[in-house]
Amino acid sequence: MIDSFEEPVADNPVLTVNDLHVNFSSFDGLHQVVDGVNLSVGNSEVVAIAGETGCGKSVTVKSILGLLQEPPAQISGTIKFDGKDLRQLSEKKVRQMKGTQISMVYQDPMSSLNPVFTIGEQLTDTAQFGSTETVRKIDYIKKKYFERQSRQQAREKVINMLREVQMPDPERIMKNYPSQLSGGMCQRAMIAQALLNEPDLLIADELGTALDVTIHDEILGLLQDLAIQRNLSILMITHNLGAARQISDRVYIMYGGQIVETGSTENIFNHPAHPYTQGLMSSVPKLSGDEMAEGIDGSVPEYLNPPSGCRFHPRCPYAHDKCRTEQPDAYATGSNEANNCFLYDNEHQSPYDEPTVEKTKNMNESIKSSERRKK
């Protein structure tokens, strides 16, 4: 444990998010989904946000990109990209930045690719105009149909980009509609589209997780190569710990709309400190041996009335009185690593010692078997 502590921040950050809160108002009340998230992505750094389904990863990145409708969303906090506060810029300026300086790729090709246009047509539009949303209709028609040279240059750029993402036979692919491509090819086309205007930051939400394992690995390998070749910063969102481990430099572990642990990928995977991270790690099925993954009992909290104190306390085997009433701060567990858990606070008055993966796994399993006995 380290006494004095500053929140870990990337060197030369391209993106910094401070104290981000996202609530959704509804008829039944306020859903407090993202609660005080701080994160940063450095220049040429690959950063992962990992956590179970429903823990607020996509809401976090959507709020960074201004993709949430306000209302019902209520967003507060600072989101700085390249030193500029995105929440203070005009909508038009943010739309211009999207696709040119910041790009996003989604898990679902239908969110990025339009099923009624060929790959060639839509990617050439992106190469020629950046974001077509910000171009006046008259300029779009003039440039697309009457400026042959610039259209041809954009086409060549697309073919080169498709080659860079290792798409076989780019000229033929240009003539295809998204429905004529496999899932892996669609993902490559989406990555190509996202990189056409040479953004500084690529945000990838669950990229490739719907594909089979081999193709998913290939897509991750491709992202890693592109990050190195293009000095690209990547913020990847995943519920797949293996994916985070495979390509990220740093990881944020998210639970119930909060970052509960952060540090270098190597340290987080070799020495996870937070009981939630340890529970996640012990849930990953092992390829060798006949051990079954037990998982963490229970599910992510509801956001309408989130648990008091530490949001993880209803599922935590180490929960004690303080956890039920007070929220833990970020405590240092190493250089540039932090962990929001009272087991690491400076006074350490909890009845438990610092947890280990093995201890957490055993405690989770004994809770589960006593639950089973009760039923």
Residues that bind ligand SF4 (CB under 6 A): 275, 310, 312-313, 316, 318-319, 323, 328, 341-343
31 binds ligand ATP (CB under 6 A): yes
56 binds ligand ATP (CB under 6 A): yes
Distance from C-alpha of 119 to C-alpha of 355, rounded to nearest angstrom:
51
Q: Site for ligand ATP (CB under 6 A): which residue of 188, 239, 274, 311?
A: 239
59 binds ligand ATP (CB under 6 A): yes
CB 241 within 8 Å of CB 281: yes
Residue 61 binds what, of ligand SF4, Mg ion, ligand ATP, none (CB under 5 to 8 Å, by partner type)?
A: none
Rounded to a whole number of angstroms, the minimum distance from the CB of residue 33 to ligand ATP is 4
Rounded to a whole number of angstroms, the minimum distance from the CB of residue 293 to ligand SF4 is 20
Write the CB contacts of 173 (distance below 8 Å, at least 6 apart in sequence): 119, 120, 162, 167, 181, 185, 189
Rounded to a whole number of angstroms, the minimum distance from the CB of residue 322 to ligand SF4 is 7
Q: Which residue has the tokens 């390249």?
A: 82
Alpha-helical regions (H) of the chain: 57-64, 91-97, 109-112, 119-129, 137-146, 148-164, 170-174, 183-195, 213-230, 241-247, 265-270, 275-283, 321-325, 357-374
Distance from C-alpha of 327 to C-alpha of 205, rounded to nearest angstrom:
29
Rounded to a whole number of angstroms, the minimum distance from the CB of residue 59 to Mg ion is 8
CB 33 within 8 Å of CB 256: no
Residue 344 binds what, of Mg ion, ligand ATP, ligand SF4, none (CB under 5 to 8 Å, by partner type)?
A: none
Q: Site for Mg ion (CB under 5 A): which residue of 16, 58, 282, 364?
A: 58
CA distance readout (Å), 278 to 52, 101, 295: 13, 36, 10
Rounded to a whole number of angstroms, the minimum distance from the CB of residue 307 to ligand ATP is 14
Residues in contact with ligand ATP by CB under 6 A are 24, 31, 33, 53-59, 239, 303
